[in-house]
Structure 1
């Protein structure tokens, strides 16, 4: 059974309590968004997600999208849900106010995204891709294009997509073949094909605005010859309404393992009219603005699914009777005890819980960085925030989706045989979660980005945005009685991270394969340290609240228990990743290709 109640109390904790000392807050542009106001926003989002999106999640998976003669029909209930979503203004929540958005902080927006993804990740992709396209256009498009397209995209009347992948190439965009020929009036005609285009065709909006990577006739080879174009499904008429049909169509949809209610399309461009976004041959730079926003969003997908999987598993573990507690019957009046009494079931549930709370806390920190890099008045704060977001984006994308999939798998395990059955609902979570580890750059690519680009950037400046606050927290809290073991655990894991960084720097400069072999372990290690830091801070805050007295005693006591579980049962994995990094590439690269 798919069970979900938005974890609003924990969301308020990470939004209003946990990161108040990170230097990313106090932004004048967000002064009006008080805790009372943001609480109201989160509560209304929870109602929409629980009452509108969750009921069509399982049915949408069973029905899927339908394709016929270039037309895609979304599952029953999706069109009505989207209309309600748009009418309530959710698509423009964090969008720029000058084009009709509401301008809320990303720190709030990411929590709303989590709720949407938890209740219906397929649905989330439709407004999610539009938000990414708006980000790219707002940063790189001409004022004329922004004025013509952003208001209707932000309102949700029109949607957006991202067209990168072609049948013969995936991550290696240097092989891209789609071409763009100038017409002479400032527009271009695009010809080529794309695959794996989320929301490339659907029946939810009156127009679809495609952002397409293509090559100009004089383009140099490789990634330095790629430009970005805006290509609408319908060309706007003189009044700005959808007019003549453009030369872009869906030639089919993919039949996928999961996210079946999201239309993943094969797109064909036949002399499709488009307009250049940004400078010629610099389209990849503009598109990566969208991709980086999407990568954080994909990480939130993993967190959302993980939370829904956890809550569904808790419901089942309390309801399912099976055997007796090892310490004696807990419910002697029943035929058996609920399976939540068993240590292994509890380990599964608490692992999921710790993953979710740790990712939510770390994600909230990164979201505050997103706000500060855009709006902080102090240039030094903006730079530190930009460094922090650049460093943590691959971590959020890869770590959160890895752990979200792990949580979905654990939920299936808690359900046992019933978890393997479609009607239970939890096997959908595992299928839906799997794609998040692949699209927007596979998690292996994220690890290579972290190690290959981010670690050495600007003489290690990105790393300092993370290392300095963690190191300072450890020094400030050494010797504190109630937290002594946690601080020791954090210090040990942080030390392993520092040594791993030095190892990769030393070996990687001499041999790129050494850095590549260590990349995934390093990303996980950095993520574990980040979660441990957040849990340690959470414990300190909770301890102070309990010491001085609080009406919310149960929440803070449980927060400390969850943190204790993380430090005792999950953080020790840091040692494993450290040892794997130290071992180097030898065992990986010793095999000849004919030995596989």
Structure 2
């Protein structure tokens, strides 16, 4: 049976020692009074809930899956999921970072991010039921009418209702401009929606009494393409004027997708047969409103793979310390035993340290991104808010793609540590791998994220956002320029920063001549940028660890070892990626299609 211990010490290290959370929050009136003790107490309770309530349901939920009653269109979640969700509501977890105006606790998004890392480690499939509700809350908070907010937000905040986003259709995935779902205006100001959506996570289930669907559709006179998409809120049950539930709305689950992983979450084909909904935001401007939810989901998927990376690492370490196999090449390390534990073997350590480094680097990036969102939403200075928003925009595709790519690498390595036992279900590792592989695909494939980063977030504004982050790196390198102990970290960081600048300029020039050059280089480019950001955070973490290791806490010694491993064994990947990006589009497009 697998195990899970919430990584509270490392979270606290990033929050308090690297990012100085409470000092940063003092500039935000909504969170200025929050202290470290309160932060730590919330995280400790969140960890208990994840480890003690949700984690024990993970393997059983994967084996059982969800059940669809085709006659009633009702879906039953795996055994124990509904009871765990009731405890989730009882603990007030859905309301953690929501606006007190609608019943929220008003705590920072940063804490919510840590909560969801732990929930995803414990049980990604279960966590997806409440996971999209926060995105629905944010979309309606930003674009909903006062009536929509009054009707839906208190229930989403309390967790009594959950939310979904209904985008994809059988003939269109990422290219939403092709969608066909129709919305017909009604005399009372509402709309009747007809069409089919697929791959809808948590689209139907029995955990709550109502599900709030945010649906993209076209008005009768809508322009073609993405400029003709509107957003509607379509509840499973219509809501009466007094807030009670009315008749069943004809938005039904027609089938469940049979997936390679995440079996405990209902991925639904949703049929709309004249379902009633109300318009969110302006007509034909739905994509902009939905992007709030889509970006939240992309950050959330990054957290899913971060969670899987952590739990896979923990189990692989425990196994490697216990499993006896062969002797160390440099002589017995456990002579009293029949063989040495496999953790003495260099390549086993490489796999374990890869997972550990990707977990720790990913955690620093994810928490930093959440803190930026808190600034974007709450800082009194508009310039600071805009700067935070720009950086979030830059980092979002990296969080989604780099963390999910790394999650696939890490969980695969951790399965490999188990050898033959890795693909045996009882150990839990093969489930982590199956779940992690899906995360690279949905909410915009990682190639789409790469195109978004290079095309929209970097080249579209002539590198303005990237240059801001680059200046932060340069300032850090300058500050540590005379610190001899930091040279092993800042020198490769500075070198990679220079190479990214040159590569960006080169790709921008190539793109002027042939836009396909962006498509050819984008995936390599995102991974190089991901490593640049990880290198920056590992250098910052190493700086803190160097300053504090004299106290004798082994945590700081381990942090330095992990940072050194990252710079020595993982960062060099960028050399090959840069060379590949520079190879351009010709090797990809030269072959005639008939030869494939």
TM-score by length of 1: 0.98
Name the counterpart of 1:402. Answer: 405
For the Cα contact (< 8 Å) 1:296–1:397, is it kept in 2? yes
| Corresponding residue for residue 191 of structure 1 | 194
> Can you list the C-alpha shifts for 1:200-257, whole angstroms capped at 9, x where unaligned?
1000000001100001111011110000000011011232122211111111111110
Q: 1:464 offset after TM fit, Å? A: 2.6
For 1:346, the equivalent position in structure 2 comes to 349
Moved more, 102-111 or 41-50: 102-111
Match of 2:99 in 1: 96
**SS of corresponding position for 1:482:** helix
**Offset at 1:23?**
9.6
Q: Which runs of 5+ in 1 are unaligned?
A: none
Q: Does 1:474 align with 2:477?
A: yes
Q: Map 1:204-215 to 2 at 5 A.
A: 204-215=207-218
**How high is the TM-score relative to the length of structure 2?**
0.98
Q: Secondary structure at the match of 2:385?
A: helix
In 2, distance between residues paired with 1:39 and 1:465? 32
CA contact (8 A) 1:24 1:385 kept: no
Q: Which residue of 1 aligns with 2:468?
A: 465
Q: Which residue of 1 aligns with 2:540?
A: 537
CA offset digits 1:310-357 (Å, max 9, x no partner): 001001101111111112111111111111111110010001001110
Q: Distance in 1 between matches of 2:511 and 2:320?
A: 47
The question of 1:526 aligning with 2:529 is answered yes
Aligned-partner Cα distance in 2 for 1:25–1:467 = 24
Q: How many Å separate the matches in 2 of 1:487 and 1:359? A: 19
The whole-number CA distance in structure 2 between the counterparts of 1:165 and 1:582 is 34
Equivalent residue of 2:463, what SS?
helix
Contact 1:306/1:404, CA 8 A, preserved across alignment: yes
1:387–1:461 contact (8 Å) kept in structure 2: no
1:459, CA displacement in angstroms?
A: 3.7
Whole-Å Cα distance in 2 between the matches of residues 567 and 11 of structure 1?
21
Q: Could you tell me how far apart the structure 1 residues matched to 2:251 and 2:119 are?
A: 30
Aligned length: 593
Structure 1 counterpart of 2:155: 152
- Secondary structure of residue in 1 paired with 2:252: strand
**Alpha-carbon distance in 2 for matches of 1:198, 1:449:** 23
Instruction: Tell me the alpha carbon deviations over residues 368-396 of structure 1, each in whole angstroms, 9 at most, x when there is no partner.
Output: 11111111111221111011000000000
Shift of residue 93 of structure 1? 1.0
Does the 8 A contact of 1:181 with 1:217 survive in 2?
Answer: yes
Return the offset for 1:81.
0.5
The within-5 A match list for 1:202-241 is 202-241=205-244
Instruction: Kindly report structure 1 stretches of 4+ aligned residues shifted beyond 4 Å.
Output: 21-25
TM alignment of 1:395-434, pairs within 5 A: 395-434=398-437
SS at match of 1:455: helix
Describe the shift of the 1:359–1:311 C-alpha distance in structure 2 as closer, same or farther (beyond 3 A).
same
Deviation of 1:364 after TM superposition, in Å, equals: 1.4
Query: By how many angstroms is 1:506 displaced?
Result: 1.0
Extract unaligned runs of 5+ from structure 2.
none
Matched, 1:126 2:129: yes
Per-residue CA deviation, residues 407-463 of structure 1 (Å, 9 max, x unaligned), is 110111000111011111100000011111011100000000001101034443211
1:245 has 2:248 as partner: yes
Distance across 1 between alignment mates of 2:465 and 2:19: 19
Aligned to 1:54: 55
| Counterpart residue number, 2:508 | 505
- DSSP 3-state at the match of 1:490: helix
Q: Tell me which residue corresponds to 1:279.
A: 282
The more displaced of 577-586 and 405-414 is 577-586
How far apart are 1:465 and its partner, in Å? 2.9
CA contact (8 A) 2:163 2:211 kept: yes
Does residue 1:574 correspond to 2:577, yes or no?
Answer: no
RMSD of aligned Cα (Å): 1.3
